[in-house]
Structure 1
Amino acid sequence: QDTFYLREEAPLPEGWECLRDMHEHGGDTSSTGWGGKWNPKKAKQCVLRTHTTSLSIQYLATHPEPPVKAFCIGRVYRREAIDPTHTPEFEQLEGIVMDKAVTFRHLLGFLKEFYQRMGFSDVRFRPGFFPYTEPSVEPEIWVDGLGWVEMGGAGVFRQEVTAPWGVQCPVLAWGLGVSRVAMLRLGLKDLRQLYQSDLEWIRNSPVHAPAAAARKA
């Protein structure tokens, strides 16, 4: 429903049988799976990615032993209604941390530290639902004039996601909207302003520069 489908098809990756079994009955894990019949034709269908999680999974598949830290910024696409806080394409910051002793509390600490370093002192979390993480959470920050603003999604990968690749340790994962952070840091009220070709606005808007760079200048 929120995906852009393409006409092209791609071959199934090596080990796709494990993914089928995980969907249908949970494979060799304690999960009962998602049920239903896994359709290989559907799996071959190409879409514009809705999350950068596809990159994280590829990295985990080739690095299944702890410790692992991986981060990326990539463009994602969703069939969203355009409004001041949503656009059909935007940049997502993806992060994963995998180790033997990491917990959900570590994840909350990482997210709070990130947003505080971005200049947002008030950070809170509310329970969320994502089919690939459990528990799941949505971080929110307080912005004067806007109230609490939801910034993304995070959680601990479910074993249905990690087991097919031989990953045995907990994996903390988050996907955050970089464009939304930029909008708020620049004092904008509408996400669409970041993508408009408004030369007058660009000329009149201050350029943010780190303190060290400003001193050198």
Structure 2
Amino acid sequence: MRKSDLLGAAWPGLAVEESNLSVQIAALRKLLGPAPHGVEWIVTIPRVGYRFTAEVQRCENADREFVPLPERPSIAVLPFCDMSDDLGHASFANGLTEDVITDLSRIPDLYVIARNSSFAYKDQSTDMRRIAQELGVRYLLEGSVRLASDRVRINAQLIDAIGGGHVWAERFDRSLGDIFAVQDEVAGKIVEALVGRLAVPPRHGQPAGLEA
């Protein structure tokens, strides 16, 4: 794929230097690890772009490739849904989502989907399992925010996209005395609850276990 096409797909409508693309390609190579027979998974085509050498499987009637799971716990935080009557409160839901993504990204050995990729599914009713397959993660965190007067109610739930069940769910009722403090507190509690509940992908036919 040409560099211009990759830049347009990853950062639509933005002026981004090619060095940013090189950094992301390097990160992908590190994540994928060594390929069989000494061949790179992502090959650089000089002055053109990159080519992915592995075989890509496409589900019938699918319009996106499914990404294989990484060899470590993986999660995508979907944009929290704003259920408030006042549409101006959407920034709170977006801010909470970004806080959770940021805090999860600080955890070693945890693969977290970047904000731009997660927000591509904002206000979409796509099947959860399909989203996880397209992003290449096992777990999805979704939630909702409802503000009324000086109170906020936040619901969050962790979904195992492989098994299709809920791993964890919680509701938070808080006062909006300090909106940023509320976001920090709730994001911290969500992250704390998730650590230890994310299973490592099964290897060599063994069932998945839970992180300590």
TM-score (norm 1): 0.25
The structure richer in strand per residue is 1
